[in-house]
Structure 1
Amino acid sequence: MAQDRYRRLRRRPVGVYARIAALEEELQECRQLNRRIAELVDVVAELLVPIADRDEERVREVLAQYRASI
């Protein structure tokens, strides 16, 4: 995990550039996780409306699309 890499780098006497590189890696990981969370929120939102309307066909369709994308 990026935090572990950062902690290992922090223990060693390294320069500013190495610490910046570690932070950039962690930032990229956070961005990817945030993107994934946003995608999951979109799927949940797409599911809530058909479920509330009791549209089983649409629910199956949304779930099939989600499963195909992962």
Structure 2
Amino acid sequence: MTVVQTGMLKTQGMRIIDSITGQPVILRGVGLGGWMNMENFISGFVGREFQMRESLLQVLGQEKYDFFFD
């Protein structure tokens, strides 16, 4: 894998390329979005944040709960 650090990308047709070298660039990463967002309209959980936390505490136990929210 080649790491290119030019600071600029552009598109060429359906590809993303380095604007200086013209080489194709593949963007890699993880899009976790709002998975830790404790708002019920996003998660679908029918309750408030404190209720979600109480449920996780019951399921995980104190040690894993503390690790999860650390």
Higher helix share: 1
Return the TM-score normalized by structure 1: 0.32
Compare CA radii of gyration and give the structure with the larger one: 2
Structure number with greater CO (CA < 8 Å, separation at least 6) is 1
